[in-house]
Structure 1
């Protein structure tokens, strides 16, 4: 009874194989528990049981080896998967970085282009400013030179101003002297006018037997209509040129005789006495700007009155009794006839 119980007694043992690394979910599913029965028999049956046990042990070893191989293969696959994932993540990150770098490169190229344009504009601006600076330097140099010239000119003007002040003082002194002289001359003129008035009265209104009798022409003058004539019957060497004769007439408050019509021409010719020592008498007719012109500014209208009629510069006219008017060089000497307006004695 005891032996039977010993043969039937069975002991169970559990064997669990675990990997070093933490298993994945699939590994956990693949994990199995292997149970093996171990029977303890009595000594007589020990040999038979050992044989069976050896076979079972061999079978277990084969199972264990297969399981270890599967587990090793699984680990290698997991390792390769992990490496692939890492490579993929690395490649993905590299691709993302490359894309980001390309995008950054594009942005940097755009920024570089913009900076290049800005740099070109700045260079152009610098060039323009350089040109403007050169122009300003030239202008400054010119202004400085002009300023120097102006300073020198200002100094000259100051010197001239001082001289002008001195001259002004001298002119003021001279003006005062001239004013005094003018006052003296005015006084003398007034006195002279009085003397002339008295002279005119004496000339035109001489006293005859204690009675003043006025005439249209002063003593020694011949009257014809509204004119008074004086015949200056000068003999050589007292004869004069045309200009000197005109000056003498002006001293007599008259001019060389003018014939505005045929009557006056005939009157003048009738008074031009013919003498061997007298060639003729200067009258107020000469050549001016290629024309025969009277001293009163009128032109000779009757060219036939004078011989030769062609005007010659530097020629003046003389009156000859038997020949009329004759052209002669103004520098020659002759007697002359003066004329002035007669004094009107009748009331207007």
Structure 2
């Protein structure tokens, strides 16, 4: 008996004839083997030989397919690796850039915090220095206040003693108290003193008022005919353009006394119209009152209340 065996990728088709068996592939034949066997062999032995041949063909086909599949797989893996390589490079570059950026951010944060710490340290040092300066100033002011209190107490004692000596001067018979200070002229309930210095020591209206106030008095204010007569009486040695300042001046377009009251016409006749500010009034003995500039240097008269004794 003659047997033809063929191998393919899919399935085998067998055609039987008279003593010949042909096996063909449906799609294509890769290889074929022809084996001639004697009919004398037992059927069992023939079947074994057929199976052996078929197994060899099948093993060869399987090996070929596995080789082809392996080669195809390697080719696909190589192509896949070639396609993945640019992405891998890109990922590597992005990773490096990210790492550099992270380092830069960390460096900026560290520098920023170091700068803040430096500024805070400087502020603390400045505040400490300022606190020390303020503490020193506080100590100095405390000492000055203590000194002022001590001096004030001494001044009060001295002033009190001065007042006693001024109003009650010592004599051989002891102290004799008066209503006015020593050198002041008493008149009713008031005390007057006139200042008639040489021309270099005369004062403006403002300077004269400050001089009176420094002695606990003020420039003369007239609210009655008697006070006007007293003013004329103490305007000693005045004449022409030389007179004595008293407490009347132009203020806000009106004649005003230093106590805030307005001038009445009966005390100054004829009374000039209210001038602009900067004009003051002086007393000239036996002549009357005259308006002159407040900056002129003149004599002055002070007035204060008499002490009740």
Structures share a fold, TM > 0.5? yes
Distance 1:157 1:239 in 2: 63
Does the alignment pair 1:222 with 2:185?
yes
Which residue in 1 is equivalent to 2:55? Answer: none
| Kept in 2: contact 1:204–1:215 (CA 8 A) | yes
Counterpart in the other structure of 1:266 = 229
SS where residue 264 of structure 1 aligns? helix
Q: Does 1:328 align with 2:298?
A: no
* 2:272 alignment counterpart: 308
Deviation at 1:248, TM superposition (A): 1.2
Taking the TM superposition and a 5 Å limit, the aligned residue runs for 1:55-70 are: none
The Cα of 1:333 is off from its aligned counterpart by 0.7
Unpaired runs of at least 5, structure 1: 1-155
In structure 1, how many angstroms separate the alpha carbons of the residues matched to 2:184 and 2:168?
A: 13
On the 8 A contact 2:243/2:283 being kept in 1, the answer is yes
Q: Which has the larger radius of gyration?
A: 1
1:237 matched to 2:200? The reply is yes
Kindly indicate whether residue 127 of structure 2 is the aligned counterpart of residue 197 of structure 1: no
Equivalent pair of 2:252/2:276 in contact (CA under 8 Å): no
| Paired residues for 1:3-82 under 5 Å | none
Match of 1:183 among 112, 132, 146: 146
Higher-helix-fraction structure: 1
C-alpha displacement at 1:275, in angstroms? 4.0
Match of 1:82 in 2: none
Tell me the distance in 1 between the aligned counterparts of 2:302 and 2:241.
16
1:111-150 matches, cutoff 5 A: none
| Equivalent residues of 1:257, 1:339 under 8 A apart | yes
- Spell out, residue by residue over 1:144-183, the C-alpha distance to the aligned partner (whole angstroms, 9 max, x if none): xxxxxxxxxxxx9998898677545433422321221111
Work out the number of aligned pairs and report it. 191
Runs (4+) of structure 1 moved beyond 6 Å? 156-162
**1:340 partnered with 2:304:** yes
| Distance in structure 1 (CA, Å) of the matches to 2:261 and 2:128 | 49
Alignment TM-score, normalising by the size of structure 1:
0.49
Q: Which has the higher strand share?
A: 2
Match of 2:201, SS?
A: coil
Could you tell me how far apart the structure 1 residues matched to 2:189 and 2:123 are?
60
CA distance in 2, matches of 1:336, 1:159: 62
Q: Distance in 1 between matches of 2:234 and 2:287?
A: 13
Closer, same or farther: CA 319–276 of 1 in aligned 2, 3 Å: closer
Q: What is the CA–CA distance in structure 1 between the aligned matches of 2:287 and 2:121, rounded to whole Å?
A: 71
Cα distance change on mapping 1:226 and 1:196 into 2, 3 Å = same
In 1: Cα distance, 2:262 partner to 2:126 partner? 52
Residue pair 1:278, 1:335 contacting (<8 A) in 2 also: no
Alignment of 1:149-164 (within 5 A): none
Give the conservation status (yes or no) of the 8 Å contact 1:204–1:219.
yes
TM-score normalised by structure 2 residue count: 0.55
Query: Which ranges in structure 2 are unaligned for 5 or more consecutive residues?
Result: 1-118
Q: Which residue of 1 aligns with 2:136?
A: 173
Contact map agreement 2:244 2:300 (CA 8 A) in 1: yes
CA RMSD of aligned residues (A): 2.8
Give CA-to-partner distance per residue, 1:241-290, whole Å, 9 cap, x none: 11111121122121111112222122111211234587110001112222
Instruction: Give the Cα–Cα distance (whole angstroms) in 1 for the partners of residues 251 and 209 of structure 2.
Output: 15
Cα distance in 2 between the residues matched to 1:157 and 1:287: 62
Contact 2:238–2:244 (CA<8 Å) still a contact in 1?
no
Q: How far is 1:219 from its partner? A: 0.8
Matches of 1:292 and 1:310, distance apart in 2? 6
Cα distance, 1:328 vs. partner? 0.8
